[in-house]
Amino acid sequence: MRNASTKQKVMDASGYLFFTKGYHGTSVRDIAGRAKVNVSLISYHFKNKQGLLEFLMVEYFEPYIELLEEYAQKEDSKESFYQLIELIIQYKKKHYQFTCFVHRELTLDNVLVREMMVTYLAKEKYILYRLFKQCLHGSGIKGTQLQYLFLQFKGMLMTPFMMPYDMRDQNVLDHSDNYFSEQYSQTIIRWFDHLIESHKISYKKEGII
């Protein structure tokens, strides 16, 4: 029980410090100091800072990918995809600090972080793009335009976690843990609805559908 408690303290401390100082700006001694544990205990549980980061990556990404895979196996429908959007934002919000850390490190082209995440990122892109494409089936959107809109969609999923200080006031004003997630998810869903309807109208005018 004591070992589990110590391990969790180290995980919590490293997550906070990676968020506030970045991976390269955080030392093992910093983590030990915040967790109030001996440096040797970090070596015992995780070997080193890279081992600790790898452990945190697995803890963060495995449940996330499982969530995507679960919805990828469901019956194709716009409602199912919209529900997934809400769950993605909830997951990212629940793990707010580490989500911000991951997205920020990617923008810095952190080779170590990118190499650790390459498999997870590939799975995420494959599943989301397939579901995104299915959701827009019949709208007349395809080719380069579809790929461009997918980039916009991914950008919307990331934006609140790329701008933690800009979004801070919004988070502080939350009436509940899920309030921000619900509101922001609805913004993305309204974007989808507008996208689908506007293209249907355009194609009808052109006599394509």
Cα 62 to chain center, whole Å? 12
Do 70 and 120 have their domain in common?
yes
Half-sphere exposure at residue 43, Cβ-oriented, CA atoms within 13 angstroms: 4
Distances (CA, A) of 16 to 19, 51, 63, 144, 207: 5, 17, 20, 39, 56
Check residues 196 and 58 and name the one with the higher pLDDT. Answer: 58
pLDDT beyond 80 at 154: yes
Do 42 and 74 have their domain in common?
no
**Domain CATH number, residue 18:** 1.10.10.60
Determine the residue type at 101: F
Distances (CA, A) of 92 to 45, 100, 163, 185, 207: 26, 9, 13, 12, 42
Question: For residue 52, is it within any domain?
Answer: no
Residues 52, 60: Cα–Cα separation, whole Å: 12
Structural domain tally of the chain?
2
pLDDT beyond 50 at 209: no
Output the CA angle 6-11-12, nearest 5 degrees: 100
Residue 120 belongs to domain spanning: 57-205
Mean pLDDT along residues 29-34? 96
Do 35 and 78 have their domain in common?
no
Question: For residue 154, is it within any domain?
Answer: yes
Helix (H, G, I), strand (E, B) or coil at 209: coil
Tokens of 45: 């549980």
Q: Any idea which of 78-82, 87-91, 168-172, 194-198 has the lowest mean pLDDT?
A: 168-172
**Domain CATH number, residue 89:** 1.10.357.10
Mean pLDDT along residues 9-28? 94
pLDDT digits (tens, 9 = 90+) for 52-87: 999 999 999 999 999 999 999 987 788 999 999 999
Do 103 and 201 have their domain in common?
yes
